[in-house]
Amino acid sequence: MKKIAAAMLSLGLLAGSCTMAAAAEPEVYYNGQPLEMHQPAIIQEGRTLFALRDMAEQMQVAVQWDSATRLATVTYKDKTITLQPDLQRVLINNQEQEIDVGPQIIDDHIYLPVRYLFELLDADVFYRQYDDGKTVVSVNSKDSYVNYVTTTGRLTKAIRDIDSDHANNPVLMTHDGNIMELVVDGTTIHLYRTTQMLNRQEQKQETAIFHNQITDIIEENNQYYAVLDETQSARYVGTGYHPSGNAFLKEIYTPQGVFAFYGSEAALDTLALESQEGFGTKVVKGYLLDISGSSKPIRDRAYAFNTKKGYGFLTDGQFLLINNVPTEGYKVLACDTISGTIRDGKLFSYQDSFYAIGSDRTENGQNEIFVTSYTAQGMRANSYIAVSQLSDKDTYRYLDIKDAVQIGEKAYLLLQTDVNSYLACYDLAQHTFTAEKLDRPYKKFTQAKGSWQLYDCDEEYYYFLQVK
């Protein structure tokens, strides 16, 4: 947590205060540690009241007392909290707030409900009542270890407190819930780890000679590796990286131009993230389609593999299916143009069929999501079908597919209009389309805790939204 300046002033007050007997003392814990209260807790109208000074000291918050106006002022972020104990009133940025039990002077100290003030300061307050009458109050600040990674429903939030303000740094959440962010500063790679077991963030530094960017993160046997400087050329579609050492397999003639089909094998420079292995190499194998022979630049590219039917490629609305046929070698099974105006085309594989999904315009000019499927023989099985069902469909000016991922028989799409963001799902088995509006513009799908989640971040938090 970015610390608030501590400027504590004495809150001892003059005459005119009231006195109230203290109830049985609750046990109080702050960030998991016992809290020694300088003033006794007070129970009033079912509320537990603490002395303002005790609470403010724990949060390292600046507090000022004006003896002339008898006002206490708490400054926190963009909030100016004004306490008027004589009137039992609270104002935030000069706006009066509703409060059941207001601030008041008891034994020359300002008292306030513990939950009320701590929650204004971004802390969580939990009460536990035991059969023997004991009460335990647990207060956890924003940077408490229990708050580093918190999950509510499908949403996981974690504190983001690093020097870099780049929202596109590589980030991942490991199987055990730890979050890692990689930041490159010149020739130094910084690894920041946010965990549920620490009350601070760890930082690991490696000197990366000749490497100045991280292009991917891969997983192998529950170990995570950063891929260094191995960008795949824009001329290739498929699974693989740089073209050196690739084996040429076939030349393919298409309406878009002459493409070459390769077998790919690349040794990637990597950095182990959660072990002492340090720098090393990992071999990645796959197949690439060289689209540099296209008659015009290709904007959208997608790839999918079907264990029964082969390798599917989608390039600006053209679907190409290649398979290794016994006694015939690699053969083109389909080459079909879906649409010349399709945008953000994605390709999926399910059972013995391929599904091309993209954004395009209908005859009346409305942006929609379209689905086209292909049978085992490579023939188009159904027409170009619009499936969008978005609540703002009558008002949005554009519809983009920011990212996509397949989980089993479901194709998930991260959609963005000029109005809202959506998590959409096309069921490849049932041929149904659903979409839910999102509360924030997530950036992409990412692997988190062993499953696919939507990812976003701002200056203070990481956000992971469970997809399935």
Question: Which pLDDT band, with edges at 50, 70 and 90, does 9 fall under?
Answer: very low
The helix (run of H) or strand (run of E) holding residue 147 is: helix 145-148
> Which two three-digit tokens encode residue 173?
């959440």
pLDDT at 346: 95
How do the residues of the chain divide into helix, strand and coil, expressed in percent and rounded to 5? Answer: 5, 55, 45
**Helix/strand number for the chain, H first, E second:** 3, 40
Whether residue 426 contacts residue 410, with contact meaning beta carbons closer than 8 Å, is answered with yes
Cβ–Cβ under 8 Å, residues 53 and 36 = no
Range among 51-65, 129-143, 297-311 with highest mean pLDDT value:
297-311
Can you read off the two tokens belonging to residue 101? 């039990």
- The residue type found at 245 is G
Walk across the sheet containing 79-84 and list its strands: 62-66, 71-76, 79-84, 89-92, 95-96
- In the block, which residue shows the tokens 């997530």? 442
Which structure tokens are listed for 121? 């300061």
Q: Out of 72-86, 322-336, 389-403, which region has the weakest mean confidence (pLDDT)?
A: 389-403
Note the maximum CA span of the chain: 101
Calculate mean pLDDT across residues 402-415. Answer: 95
Q: Which pTM value belongs to this model?
A: 0.69
| Per-residue pLDDT band at 198 (split at 50, 70, 90) | very low
Note the pLDDT tens digit of each residue in 417-426: 988 999 999 9
Strand 202-207 relative to strand 214-220: parallel, antiparallel, unpaired? unpaired
Residue 8 reports pLDDT greater than 70: no
Least confident of 9-13, 104-108, 281-285, 401-405: 9-13
What pLDDT, on the 0 to 100 scale, is given for residue 209?
46
Is residue 137 within 8 A of residue 129, CB to CB? The reply is: no
pLDDT for 188 = 73
Average pLDDT over residues 78-92: 90
Looking at per-residue confidence, does 191 or 304 come out higher? Answer: 304
Place of tokens 């409305």: 366
Are 139 and 29 contacting, i.e. CB atoms less than 8 angstroms apart? Answer: yes
Residues 454 and 445 sit within 8 Å (Cβ to Cβ): yes
Q: How far is CA 232 from CA 215, 223, 262, 266, 402, in A?
A: 9, 23, 14, 11, 19
